[in-house]
A and B are shown apart, each in its own frame.
Chain A
Amino acid sequence: MSEAPAAPRPVSADPVHLADLDLLVVPPRARTGWKVLPARVAALCAVELQKLRHDRTELYTRAIQPALWLLIFGETFTRIRAIPTGGIPYLDYLAPGIIAQSAMFIAIFYGIMIIWERDAGILTKLLVTPTPRSALITGKAFAAGVKALIQAIVVVLIAAVLGVAMTWNPLRLLGVAGAVVLGSAFFSCLSMTIAGIVLTRDRLMGIGQAITMPLFFGSNALYPVSVMPGWLQAISKVNPLSYQVDALRGLLLGTPSHLLSDFAVLLVAAALGITSASSLLARLAR
């Protein structure tokens, strides 16, 4: 405990003159009930878009990895014809898997981000606003979805340039957007849930890396579930990424899929993720 150098009123400092502050003495009228959640989600999604508008570096750098997957892995395995794809080129088969992968990698980063925001005081300040914790987490989850969606658009464009035959039907593309947002909401909440348990960035980075690869390889992103060994098929069955990829493949390529159950699983997974991350947010606040 030490006293800082004295802070005398400097001669050069101009006295503060305030203009009319009439609005700053009138508290805004509080939203109540169901209106709170969409308002908070919209506010946090807007922040994500504003950040992307100011700095697109992440968008460009994150496009490199999916481009390489499609260009190297996709082109090579298309020639080898080693993976049964139901009669479509492997590159086409792979593209929805890579869209899901790049969205998941963005979403998984949200756990680290929320710990960083906790350390920086940003989260603390948001927690002192009239925002229920579940609304804050839902906002973050959908913000992850918005960011992942923009990334997905980039990957779709790369895939189109590489000649992947995808649908451009607006309704189907709307479905693609829904699948990307729901999947990202789940994976961001999974990551924020782990953040609420481990509490530090160092631990979370290790765990994040440890879970993303099994999630990716234990899904139908690269190959059909039927070629997997039994134990991996079981993992794939409980892996939401598989349902997301199935939906994306069905919507983008028109391959046989189970859209109803895919979206049902993604919805339930996102809801469970939001619930668990919200319940652990208090640990991060301490």
Chain B
Amino acid sequence: MTRNAKDDGGPAVDAVTCDGLRYSFGETQAVDGLDLSVRDGEVFGLLGPNGAGKTTAIRCITTLLPVPAGRIRVFGHDATRERMAVRRLLGYVPQQLSADAGLTGRENVALFARVFDVSRRERARRVEQALEAVDLTAAADRLARTYSGGMVRRLELAQALVSAPRLLMLDEPTIGLDPIARTNVWEHINAVRAATGMTVLVTTHYMDEADQYCDRLALMHRGRVRALGTPDELRTGLRERLGTEGPLPTLEDVFRDVAGSGLDDQSGDFRDVRSTRRTASRVG
């Protein structure tokens, strides 16, 4: 059982559109005229170095940050004027391990069922389904502090899924996880997406994940999209531009081509790096 805009008989509306989005922190222009369209039902990857503006763009789309210039629409709803309507369409998993360690898995998910107004009558069943979707039924009544990093990520996924979002937004969902846990998290994301038809917008640093799991990618650098397309289109595009023969370039080659070298001096501020390291250290 899946759903999308076409099921409703209406015209297909993009899941997300950003037109000329700009956002600055003081004198730092974090997002500088971002134009982006995410199609309904696709897995869309937003890539870029630290400080590229990915997280700021995500925070604007989620209504966490205001939109001082430009326009964002989520399934046709304006992110500035219809914030509550936008939030009802979103499931959001931030970069940090954000499950409450002092609650059980079931209580963590139930909290989000409650704040999304799931009625008492169907709350227990819906929470159960969300936990089942991420394979946490057996561990549901354990405190989240006893979970492994991969389990916490899956729990956060269940928290996001319980409200039946049309757009799932994942900010570096596999940061700090070992390869098996990363694959496991992605397999659950894909299985849920296949079962529900939701759109997934994900930021990641891992090129192999982007290549393997995303339908389309946008490479951001200095607040703008510098390249956009399917992983194959991006690689082929680089080979054609370079005029070389032989094997296709990797996505990392595409990334280096877009972002250039010497990124170290601009790769995120102290808070970005601290947050990333904390998350990585918490997942162990």
Q: A28-B118, A286-B65 are in contact. Are A16 and B1 (CB under 8 A)?
A: no
B64 pairs with A124, CB closer than 8 A: yes
In the bound complex, how far is the Cα of B29 from the Cα of A45, in angstroms? 40
Expressed in whole angstroms, the Cα–Cα distance for A85 and B4 within the complex equals 71
How many residues does chain A have at the interface if contact means C-beta atoms less than 8 Å apart? 54
Instruction: Find chain A residues with CB under 8 A from B275 CB.
Output: 119
Binds A, one of B13-21, B32-40, B94-102, B233-241: B94-102
B117–A15 touching, CB < 8 Å:
no
Chain A residue nearest to B197 (CB atoms) is A25
* Across-interface contacts of B196 in A (CB, < 8 A): 21, 24-25
Asked whether B115 lies within 8 Å of A29 as measured between CB atoms, the reply is: no
A20 within 8 Å of B by Cβ? yes
Q: How many A-B residue pairs have CB under 8 A?
A: 184
Interface size on B, residues (CB 8 A): 80
Over the window 1-24 of chain A, the binary record of Cβ atoms lying under 8 Å from chain B Cβ atoms (1 yes, 0 no) is: 111111111101101111111111
Q: Closest CB of chain A to B196's CB: distance in Å? A: 5
Q: A1-B263, A51-B103, A54-B103 are in contact. Are A130 and B207 (CB under 8 A)?
A: no
Find out whether the CB atom of A125 lies under 8 angstroms from the CB atom of B92: yes
| 8 Å CB interface, B188-214 against A | 188, 190-192, 195-197, 205-209, 212
Q: Are B163 and A128 in contact, CB atoms less than 8 angstroms apart?
A: no
Q: Are B133 and A1 in contact (CB under 8 A)?
A: no
* 8 Å CB contact of B117 from A5, A24, A30: A30
B228 sits at the interface (CB 8 A):
no
Contacts of B209 in A (CB 8 A): 7
Chain B residues closer than 8 Å to A22, beta-carbon distance: 1, 129
Please, which residues of chain A bring their CB within 8 A of the CB of B212? 7
Residue B187 is within 8 A (CB to CB) of chain A in the complex: yes
With an 8 A cutoff between CB atoms, is A40 at the interface? yes
Which B residues contact A (CB, under 8 angstroms)? Answer: 1-3, 25, 49-50, 62-65, 84, 87-90, 92-98, 100, 102-104, 107, 111-119, 122, 125-126, 129-130, 132-133, 135, 143, 159, 161-166, 174, 179-180, 182-184, 186-188, 190-192, 195-197, 205-209, 212, 252, 255, 259, 263, 267, 275, 278
5 CB-based A-B contacts, threshold 8 Å: A4-B206, A24-B192, A47-B100, A121-B95, A128-B90
Give chain A's interface residues, CB within 8 Å of chain B.
Answer: 1-10, 12-13, 15-31, 39-40, 42-43, 46-47, 50-51, 54-55, 119-122, 124-132, 285-286
